[in-house]
A and B are shown apart, each in its own frame.
Chain A
């Protein structure tokens, strides 16, 4: 732990003002002693750097899966005042609205056992994955615009889901203030052929089984039962999102100079929220986020079709539990020093975890809290958590997003062969299907922090409550 970082609670650490020059607020992050050994000191510096940005409120925060990112650390949460605060693409990430969703089925593990290999193969054939993966149809300009404006709602209206899916999605499946004119021609050109594709890296589609229930009444309310087979989809806005981030970073670098904002790191490029440049980024980000929601909805539909065909299921038998984003900036109302006010919350590698009584919750969950889907790394457990009042109080309604890496990709490739990792996972009963061995070696379980440790910390700190644990049965990867 860097010197001068002090303990503020059993799993809470404070980075004091003065850790780097010109901090306006302290930093706060959540970590156990065990995970301390893999904490990158650079990530703590990044957390402190964010605390220097204009209009930041209360703390620069990071979740237990904290690690080095672009400007902001991954696992970072920062809220800015609408009056004198800024918006920054580094606080959102290149993969705008990288996120995850889970739908359930009425099947148990034994029901799928005989056809598990067929199921995984059919999913792999149906959902495009991998570097260079293109969808079977290129969308028109008009459809691309609909995806950017209406997100998952467009996908549902064009036959890829149900109205209920939208109720179980953050923002109802689309942010309302998308500005498609702020999305460049470069970004659109990348978006045409990638609708319904999974991408690569840590993105995946996983068939899972509910192995453990921690909170029976909440699990029941969420529609989750022990032994139930589920399907998890983890992916983002693809090339359209990456390009949108790249384009607006350039604009905001110039804006940083124009508005005379002094920053310790060029990658914190930003602009005042109410400036033309700030508004343009926000609008473009929302459009890219909507594209990602449309994308996840289309992949959900394709997966449901495979399940329906393979096991003679009805569409209505496979309801969506919830869809969360973990790379986004949103305008939300929070309690700040006793006053309710709208702030711009940036979450990069962090998930919204709204507590009971919060807006944007489906009516049947209003008294319980928001479902939070936490994907584990390949071959390890994923989790369902519930948002809490503690999150609203401590972290602007936020929690972790996943496990966080500990081993670099080059080290992974040298240490592990994809074939060995796949064979190892098969021994544990997990089928892996990918285009090539590197995709598997890169994402081997060893290269991540243990996901159960990360969710254990957020549970103990009270910013989300453990509800269920899911184990993988089969995964398709890019």
Chain B
């Protein structure tokens, strides 16, 4: 599993750890999709995303918010995101499939991405961040 569940009463709070920023964002995307749609997600089509933000936390929030928009407006689930970040400029290729009620209905709708406790931290073993999904 790419993330760890943390306690939170009303919303969903997770911690993601990865060796690089690119992988941190990839795993955060995976976490969001797993919360919303479960583990069974295939990547049959691709979509590209390009964003720029002033800092790491804003970039992560904007990226995850854009994923919420894409899944909701296009009716797809994202199996995987290949992310590449340069300073605070992000490019990602998203691997998607159409939403399938039989396989993708077991999750929880996420309304937005919260900044609560969100600090991208860099340590000796890589990066970590806590994210709260507003449900």
Which residues of A pack against B, CB within 8 Å? 40, 67-70, 74, 94-95, 130-132, 134, 186, 189-190, 193, 199-201, 239, 242-243, 245-246, 250, 266-267, 404-411, 435-438, 442, 478
Contact = CB atoms under 8 A, between A and B. Distances in A.
Nearest to B105: A435
A411 B7 contact: yes
Contacts of B60: none
Contact of A239 (B8, B13, B72): B72
A370 to B, nearest CB: 27
Given A131-B105, A407-B9, 20 more contacts: A68-B9, A68-B10, A94-B134, A95-B111, A132-B99, A186-B73, A193-B75, A199-B109, A200-B109, A246-B65, A246-B112, A266-B115, A404-B10, A408-B9, A409-B135, A410-B5, A411-B7, A435-B101, A438-B107, A438-B108
Given A242-B68, A408-B8, A94 B109 contact: no
B69 A267 contact: no
The residue in B104, B109, B115, B116 that gathers the most chain A C-beta atoms within 10 A of its C-beta is: B109
Contact of B109 (A40, A131, A186): A131
Contact of A267 (B11, B62, B116): B116
B135 A132 contact: no
A242 B104 contact: no
Contact of B134 (A70, A131, A266, A405): A70
A70 B9 contact: no
B26 to A, nearest CB: 21
B46 interface: no
Interface in B7-56: 7-13, 36-37
Contact of A130 (B9, B62, B105, B112): B105
Interface residues of B, number: 33
* Closest A-B pairs by Cβ, 10 of them: A94-B111, A94-B112, A189-B73, A435-B105, A132-B99, A410-B5, A239-B72, A200-B109, A242-B111, A436-B106
B74 to A, nearest CB: 8
Nearest to B76: A132
B5 A132 contact: no
A171 B105 CA distance: 35
Contacts of A239: 68, 72-73
A242 B112 contact: yes
B121 interface: no
Contact of A409 (B108, B112, B115): B108
A130 B75 CA distance: 13
Interface in B84-114: 99, 101, 104-109, 111-114
Given A94-B134, A134-B75, A242-B68, A408 B109 contact: no
A376 to B, nearest CB: 16
A314 B13 CA distance: 47
Contact of B8 (A68, A74, A243, A435): A68
B36 A70 contact: no
Contact of B36 (A68, A74, A131): A131
B7 A436 contact: no
A406 B69 contact: no
Contacts of A437: 106
A445 to B, nearest CB: 15
Contacts of B10: 67-69, 74, 404-405, 408
A236 B8 CA distance: 23
A436 B65 CA distance: 25
22 contacts: A68-B9, A68-B11, A68-B116, A70-B114, A94-B111, A94-B112, A131-B36, A131-B105, A132-B99, A134-B75, A190-B72, A200-B109, A239-B68, A245-B112, A250-B62, A266-B115, A267-B114, A267-B115, A407-B9, A408-B7, A409-B108, A410-B7
Nearest to A129: B105
A258 B103 CA distance: 46
A130 B102 CA distance: 12
A213 B53 CA distance: 55
B106 A438 contact: yes
B108 A200 contact: yes
B32 to A, nearest CB: 12
A238 B79 CA distance: 23
A446 to B, nearest CB: 13
A308 to B, nearest CB: 28
